[in-house]
Structure 1
Amino acid sequence: MAPKCKKLYDQDYKDIFMHCARTAAHFRDDKFPPEDSSICKRGSVEDLGPITWTRVKELTNDPHLFIFDKNKKLNTDVVRGAVGNSWFVSALGVLSAHPHLLEKVIPKWSLQDWNHSEEPGKQLGMYNFRDTERHPGVFRFRFYRFGEWIEVVIDDYLPTRDGQLIYAHSKDPKEMWCSLLEKAYAKLCGGYKVLETGAASDAIVDLTGTVPETIELNKEGILGQLGEKGLINLLKMENSKHSLMSCSINAHEEEKQQERLPNGLVIELPYGIIDIQVVKIGVLKINNEVVLIKLHNPCNEIEWNGPWSNKSPEWNLVDNIKRNKLIVQDGDFWMSFHDFITSFNSLVICRHLNTSLFSRGKRWHGTIFYGEWSIENETAGGCINNNSTFYQNPQYLIRINKPATDLVISLMQSDHRSEIGVEYITIGFICLKVEENRKYRIHKSTYEIVGRVTYINSREVTKRITLNEGQYILIPSTYNLGDEGEYFLRIFSSKEININLLKKDAPKKNWYYPILYQRRAYYVGMVRAKIISGQFNREISKGFVRIVFLDLRNRIRKVVVSPIFNNSIEPDIEAEYLFYVRNPSMATIIFQLYECSTFGNDNIIGEVKILLGQYAKSSKEGKFWEITKTMTRVIKAPPHMGIIKNEEMEAINNNSNDIINENKQFIPKRINSSTTNLNIHNEDDNDIGETDNNNEAHVLRSFPKQRLVVMPVERGGIDKGRIDKGLLIPITVDAGIGELKIRMIYLRGVNN
């Protein structure tokens, strides 16, 4: 299905064609006239010499959009003209190797082509005025710019000098698709002069809507990550998926652009990667293979002259049938993979990321955003080196719900190349791991960077990263503080994610707050608490940590739950949470370890309680503190007994079963349990008073085996099965499950 298109200058192809057909007129485009202004809007074109705008029918009496060989294969011999625009010619060479993509750029090209049939009206409907003489000379092309497809209508006047096309053209003078396509692109960009400099990847993106990724071909880059075999497999996979690829040689300080090397390659010239083949060589052809890469050369007069070039002796090692299939004519050449990785140092892969519900293959989930870096709106904060302003940049909150989620992030800036002399600003982005429950923007650099792209002054930068469950913030920015511009952000994910633009800096006071809390301050600070890991005495098949935040002596209560971990004695939980604090001296954080139950409710098996006040002191605030604490439980026991000592036990056993003290009768009761140790943790009364109500519901019934607990006897009889709860108090004891490792930081203020 054809994409929805915006019409450049509101020019409608069908309306123009029908008007010309009815009036027997030839179309002349007033929006991009055959004049010097279409070459360069500002400045002179004298350096090009005398330019003549010539209609196609005056260049050849047998024009075609496309010319196919005997095997119905498209001609790919696209060459540059007298004016250097090799980057665009390279993109056209790559595109010509994918005919199905050409049909997207040149919609219904067969109905736009010149008709050379002896019966011009047959099966042509309203488009029967397309013979060489009567063709109105109107064509349409589609380009992907800044997140939308744009349809561009042009006439067939082409700039020539001495009867020859100045810009890109096909090697066959009768084939016109590349010259007309280049004219439409020049109209979109603002003139032919703009096309003298550019990047092949930008042109490929504009022609296809793909997502580019630049890869460095060195040991520090892709070769160090994948190795040679891994890179070969990557190239094969991308080729099978019809990804568009190009490569180039970056210039060193002592080298010049467009300088020819002894091997025939040209520095900074983009070569399109068209095909990859594995060829067996030698007499026996057993375990003797060579990987060959086919490249398109935008400069036909300069070509690779090393091994596996068109006339090299290496081809004698290949059987005749295979050799005849692979040998190419001028414009393309083969080279071995080894020569490829030693000759080129930059690889660009433009991928089609499928987002359709109804297509085969892997599906990606795509989201797009438009934004700007503006001084007026205080969103031009520069890169992270500008620590005081970096967090003024736009921020996007990403929620990852499943582990090992792949993200492809593409940041594109608006194109101002129509203004001659205007360069791209340097752009990039970073991705930070933030708290699981964050809802507001961040303002300080205290977060881990999990992904970043190198800042570069190109139109688009792309990075592929893999993230686990949790929340992240993506911050796109310019490198320099104060640089302004519009941007287009594309985020593709292998699994469903949630992405939102963060606008609020901090929570705001609700209207009812003064009624409930009178004159108390709203929020005075914030605490970040991270559960790093656990060290348990036994394996927990399935568990999680529940964090309870209490403030203003339990009047305010917030509860969050960590992700579930499985089958672990030492789980790496790595979950961080954020809580806004009203009174740190009255705030407590409780970390409760739960074991999941197959049937019924999950069981709490231990907890760690931390009083925030001691970490909010001026000497400790603003610093990270790692805390390792033994998990405890809260039980109920008689206030004066605690654990009965051995001598007390003996005194009871030596006397009767009943002990009478101060005219009150007590009965010893035996409670059997497998527990042998019960350590009491002495904590102050405030700790006990602030115990979570849920904890109090979990009364530990496992007293030491055969220990005696003294219970009161009520008047009117003895109830041996009931303990008077009013005479029991909560006591904190070792849960016997292990330790939790926690990291905390208290920050004064809420803009952190």
Structure 2
Amino acid sequence: MSYHHHDRNPGGRHRRRHDRSPFRQSGNGDSYSESDSESYSGSGSDSGSRSPSPHSKRSHQKGAGSDLLKIGSKIKFGKKLKALGSELEDKLNLNKLVPPELENKVRKQLNKHKLKREDSDEEEAKREQHRQRGERRRDRGHRRQFEQEQWRDRNSARRLTGPEHHIYDPDFLQNPEEELENTWVQNNMVFGPTIKYYKGQNYSDLKKECEEKGQLFTDPEFPAAEESLWFNQAIPARIEWKRPRELCDNPRLFVEGVSSNDLNQGQLGNCWFVAAVASLTLEKDLWKEVIPDYKEQEWDTEHPENYQGIFRFRFWRFGTWTEVVVDDLLPTINGQLVYNRSKDQNELWSSLLEKAYAKLAGCYEALQGGNTLDALVDFTGGVAEPIALDKGGYREDEEKKEKLFKVMHKAAERGSLLTCSIRVTSRDEMEASTESGLVKGHAYSVTAVKKVKVGESGMLSGILGNQEKIYMIRMRNPWGQKEWRGPWSDDSPEWQQVSSSEKEKLGLVKEDDGEFWMCFDDWITHFTDAGICRLINTSLLSIHKTWVESRVFSRWRSAPGDPTHNRAGGCMNNRDTYLQNPQVLFDVDKDEDTVLISLSQPDTRQTRKETGGKQGNLTMGFAVYRVELNRKYRLHTMKEKVADSIYINTRSNFVRTELRRGRYVVIPTTFDKNEEGDMMLRIFTDTDNNCKELHKDQPTASCFSGILGYPQAVTSVHLHSATGLSKKQGTFSLKKTDTYAVIKSGSKSAKTRVIEDSSSPEYDEEAIFYRKDPRNPIKIQIWKKDLIRDDLLGEATMMCEVNNSTKQHVVQLQDKDGGGDVHGSISVSVTSHDDLTAI
């Protein structure tokens, strides 16, 4: 089961109309498209069509015979049949219910429909594209209006004040039998701001209940007991759970705002979490989403009766914002907080936030050890991008080092969150200090990436260019101590080169508070791993680059020996089953586009209680393949790989790549085959990308296949290149030769990208056709793109024998309809099979 989210703005709604009647043919009716049967069968998982409404289902079931007679007598058969969708075939059993007199009417309607159609399929496709463009413009207008009314600045995509409803439920993915039935539900949902209440606890309802009873909230789902503290290793001391009034005289959620200096790690090995929280404090718009309505949650000293001891926090979990409610009971030893605490004993936001995150994980001990990027994604809904500093050539290659700094500097300026650490190779190295004061196996939050001016100060120096700029990076140790002792540390002489005004701009403070500066060269040398949690800008109202995000939720599901249903084929080491994994299609609609792809799996931290501490992340990765321009069904043979990720057992995996215009398929896999689990694939492109999971292996036969025909062969056409093309000039034509090709099979066609200014263009494009009559030819046309009207330079007609093999041809171009040879020839490979799942 999969469901998709396509949106430049999470507040938007996608409206999809049904395609026109499937009973329409043109030309010789040679080729077969998905709509020939899918529009009738109504599965819609690949085409995105709506399933019939419950109301229409009930009405069809009541009067099957009368409804069928109405089809033939009162309205056009094709339109009615489209409205019925899959229920007509599945529930009414059309083969048995259609009486002979209705069959005659059906045939008459089909013949009328065929004769009335005078326009070509290409013209119909243009009208459909025009309609879709208009629909997208209307949708963008609605989304833009929603943004203006509801969302704030560049973080509008993370605003959580909209309608509250569920999108992702782990149980929703567990039942394979419901896969196709439930796919449409997600396609038709409103993808806007979403909130899921953890354990079904609604903050407002619980608070109101406490007000009516006049008592403080006590959380039954995360009780003040040992089960909420640990599952394996207990703290060797007596734990007492205390409310804030028992810990301090004037408890506050915040004291003088939020700062990374508020944090001090307690008796728990969760520096990864504390480092992530420290990064979160740098962006007010972000922590205000994690701590919603923070002013309303603050203690009211003038009206203490309004305090019910209940707090709420929100975390982005596997595509959905999840609200977690906690009480204010905190674990202490001898009156001191055991876990994370603020420097000011009256300030409690960090302790309560940690408690909410521990509740989500199952208990406090479940937070022992982790990945800072995972927590940052939970706080923001961003995309995690890990960087191996010791393996990417950044230490040796000055150009790569320069590029990395620019990437990190830009990310920090745009509000992305950064982290770094030093990798350990053994348990003995964990949290061991180096001679320079850094701690191994310990997560640091990056709090600034700057270009610092050094040298002579003053206006004249600036004009004369006497001031050098050094790349600098600032970090914070979650322990609140143990700082870097090398160059540019707090008391190092290098700071004497920096003017007082520049120090003030940097906010330089010489205290043993765990925060320190390093020059970028030293940072790359001493740290081995870094991470960027990118906050992808999907807002329409932005001066910066925006992205279109698509999400596909699916599942690796094992069915050994059943290629049709097996979706756990493993990595490329398992060549026999690799292509049985989930496959996700998307388009790139620009000549060149940067594409971001993130593969995620649900957090398994909450299972550590049941497994005795083991965390069962799957080792996963993915590869991207360039496929035929018009592919609609699953891949059965390997195609050109254009990008891939490493295999890693973390919650998310990320790749940034540059792709040319075309169609692509992503294959996400686990490393070993037959491993089961849920997964989410997020794809970010510059324009709409038509992203969807491919479920079907071939066109689906229906009860009308006997009338309309069914494909007898599948043919793949690979247009390599053209040579010696004509440079003929029209009255209003361009001087340069910009060409593209159109590959046709009957009424179906595929258009290549435009190759600029070349009489010998390298197209390297493929098209695939499911052909009802293999005796009909394949036609390839070469067109010159011009200002007013494109010119046909020539075409080639090929008879493609079904011989289950690949043949390469060099074909001379001819004038239209075989009117004689013209300048130029094409190089093309053709593969035809009688097995529709051979390609």
Query: Which residue does the alignment assign to 2:796?
Result: 608
- Which of these residues, 473, 483, 487, is aligned with residue 303 of structure 1? 483
Query: Does the CA contact (< 8 Å) of 1:66 and 1:74 recur in 2?
Result: no
Q: CA deviation at 1:626?
A: 4.2
Query: Which residue does the alignment assign to 2:817?
Result: 695
- Offset from partner CA, 1:607-657 (integer Å, 9 cap, x none): 3344433xx54xxx445x543344344xxxxxxxxxxxxxxxxxxxxxxxx
Query: Which residue does the alignment assign to 2:43?
Result: none
Q: CA deviation at 1:243?
A: 0.6
Which structure shows the bigger proportion of residues in helix conformation? Answer: 2
Q: Are 2:226 and 1:36 equivalent residues in the alignment? A: yes
- Offset from partner CA, 1:445-495 (integer Å, 9 cap, x none): 2x0111211110001112222222111111112111011111122222222
Query: Does the CA contact (< 8 Å) of 2:723 and 2:826 recur in 1?
Result: yes
- Which of these residues, 89, 111, 115, is aligned with residue 296 of structure 2? 111
Query: Which residue does the alignment assign to 1:724?
Result: none
Shift in CA distance, 288/544, structure 1 to aligned 2, threshold 3 Å: closer
Query: Does the CA contact (< 8 Å) of 1:66 and 1:75 recur in 2?
Result: no
Q: Secondary structure at the match of 1:231?
A: helix
Query: Which residue does the alignment assign to 2:741?
Result: 545
Structure 1 residues 97-246: aligned runs within 5 Å = 97-116=282-301, 120-121=302-303, 129-130=305-306, 135-218=307-390, 220=392, 227-246=400-419
Query: Which residue does the alignment assign to 2:824?
Result: 738
Query: Does the CA contact (< 8 Å) of 1:215 and 1:222 recur in 2?
Result: no
Q: Are 2:609 and 1:437 equivalent residues in the alignment? A: no
Amino acid across the alignment from 1:608: A
Q: CA deviation at 1:301?
A: 3.6
**Segment drifting more, 48-57 vs 382-391:** 48-57
Q: CA deviation at 1:48?
A: 4.4
- Which of these residues, 271, 284, 289, is aligned with residue 86 of structure 1? 271
Q: Are 2:465 and 1:289 equivalent residues in the alignment? A: no
Amino acid across the alignment from 2:240: T
Q: CA deviation at 1:194?
A: 0.8
Query: Which residue does the alignment assign to 1:273?
Result: 446
Query: Which residue does the alignment assign to 1:369?
Result: 552
Query: Does the CA contact (< 8 Å) of 2:453 and 2:502 recur in 1?
Result: no
Query: Which residue does the alignment assign to 1:713?
Result: none
Query: Does the CA contact (< 8 Å) of 1:355 and 1:365 recur in 2?
Result: yes
Q: Secondary structure at the match of 1:471?
A: strand
Which structure has more RCO (C-alpha within 8 Å, separation ≥ 6)?
A: 2
Query: Does the CA contact (< 8 Å) of 2:454 and 2:467 recur in 1?
Result: no
Q: CA deviation at 1:171?
A: 2.2
Percent of aligned positions that are identical? 34
Q: Secondary structure at the match of 2:700?
A: coil
- Offset from partner CA, 1:49-94 (integer Å, 9 cap, x none): 32221212211112221222xxx67353312112211110111111
**Segment drifting more, 216-225 vs 395-404:** 216-225
Q: CA deviation at 1:114?
A: 1.8
Amino acid across the alignment from 1:272: S
Amino acid across the alignment from 1:21: E
Amino acid across the alignment from 2:666: L
Query: Does the CA contact (< 8 Å) of 2:714 and 2:771 recur in 1?
Result: yes
Query: Does the CA contact (< 8 Å) of 2:229 and 2:365 recur in 1?
Result: yes
Query: Does the CA contact (< 8 Å) of 2:800 and 2:830 recur in 1?
Result: no
Cα distance between partner residues in 2 of 1:83 and 1:597: 68
Q: How many equivalent residue pairs?
A: 619
**Segment drifting more, 301-310 vs 324-333:** 324-333
Q: Secondary structure at the match of 1:170?
A: coil
Structure 1 residues 24-63: aligned runs within 5 Å = 24-40=214-230, 43-63=231-251
Structure 1 residues 410-489: aligned runs within 5 Å = 410-420=598-608, 421-445=614-638, 447-489=639-681
Query: Does the CA contact (< 8 Å) of 1:76 and 1:96 recur in 2?
Result: no
**Segment drifting more, 275-284 vs 214-223:** 214-223
Q: Secondary structure at the match of 1:129?
A: helix
- Offset from partner CA, 1:171-223 (integer Å, 9 cap, x none): 22222111100000111121111100211011111111111111222463567
Cα distance between partner residues in 2 of 1:622 and 1:297: 63
Q: Secondary structure at the match of 1:323?
A: helix
Amino acid across the alignment from 2:571: C
Cα distance between partner residues in 1 of 2:197 and 2:402: 46
Structure 1 residues 650-729: aligned runs within 5 Å = 695-696=817-818, 698=819
Cα distance between partner residues in 1 of 2:666 and 2:831: 23
Query: Does the CA contact (< 8 Å) of 1:406 and 1:495 recur in 2?
Result: no
Q: Secondary structure at the match of 2:590?
A: coil
Shift in CA distance, 234/559, structure 1 to aligned 2, threshold 3 Å: closer
Q: Secondary structure at the match of 2:480?
A: coil
Q: CA deviation at 1:515?
A: 5.2
Q: CA deviation at 1:340?
A: 1.0
Cα distance between partner residues in 2 of 1:506 and 1:473: 16
Q: CA deviation at 1:558?
A: 4.3
Cα distance between partner residues in 1 of 2:547 and 2:788: 37
Amino acid across the alignment from 1:432: Y
Amino acid across the alignment from 2:476: H
Which structure shows the bigger proportion of residues in strand conformation? Answer: 1
Cα distance between partner residues in 1 of 2:701 and 2:258: 69
Shift in CA distance, 73/506, structure 1 to aligned 2, threshold 3 Å: closer
Q: CA deviation at 1:47?
A: 4.2
Shift in CA distance, 225/478, structure 1 to aligned 2, threshold 3 Å: farther
Query: Does the CA contact (< 8 Å) of 1:245 and 1:274 recur in 2?
Result: yes
Query: Does the CA contact (< 8 Å) of 1:277 and 1:293 recur in 2?
Result: yes
Shift in CA distance, 532/192, structure 1 to aligned 2, threshold 3 Å: same
Shift in CA distance, 346/627, structure 1 to aligned 2, threshold 3 Å: farther
Q: Secondary structure at the match of 2:266?
A: coil
Query: Which residue does the alignment assign to 1:331?
Result: 514
- Taking structure 1 as the reference length, the TM-score comes to 0.77
Cα distance between partner residues in 1 of 2:412 and 2:244: 35
Query: Which residue does the alignment assign to 1:652?
Result: none
Cα distance between partner residues in 1 of 2:449 and 2:474: 6
Q: CA deviation at 1:104?
A: 1.0
Query: Does the CA contact (< 8 Å) of 2:456 and 2:467 recur in 1?
Result: no
Q: Secondary structure at the match of 1:258?
A: coil
Amino acid across the alignment from 1:50: R
Q: CA deviation at 1:579?
A: 2.3
Q: Secondary structure at the match of 1:482?
A: coil
**Segment drifting more, 591-600 vs 237-246:** 591-600
- Higher-Rg member (1/2): 1
Shift in CA distance, 271/626, structure 1 to aligned 2, threshold 3 Å: farther
Cα distance between partner residues in 1 of 2:471 and 2:787: 55
Shift in CA distance, 559/229, structure 1 to aligned 2, threshold 3 Å: closer
Cα distance between partner residues in 2 of 1:277 and 1:559: 53
Cα distance between partner residues in 2 of 1:294 and 1:597: 55
Query: Which residue does the alignment assign to 1:398?
Result: 586
Q: CA deviation at 1:322?
A: 3.1
- Which of these residues, 770, 785, 797, is aligned with residue 580 of structure 1? 770
- Taking structure 2 as the reference length, the TM-score comes to 0.70
Query: Which residue does the alignment assign to 2:686?
Result: 494
Shift in CA distance, 203/565, structure 1 to aligned 2, threshold 3 Å: same
Q: Secondary structure at the match of 1:402?
A: strand
Cα distance between partner residues in 2 of 1:84 and 1:300: 14
Query: Does the CA contact (< 8 Å) of 1:28 and 1:155 recur in 2?
Result: yes
Q: CA deviation at 1:112?
A: 1.2
Structure 2: give runs of 5+ residues left out of the alignment.
1-150, 152-158, 161-193, 560-564, 609-613, 728-735
Q: Secondary structure at the match of 2:756?
A: strand
Query: Does the CA contact (< 8 Å) of 2:394 and 2:524 recur in 1?
Result: no
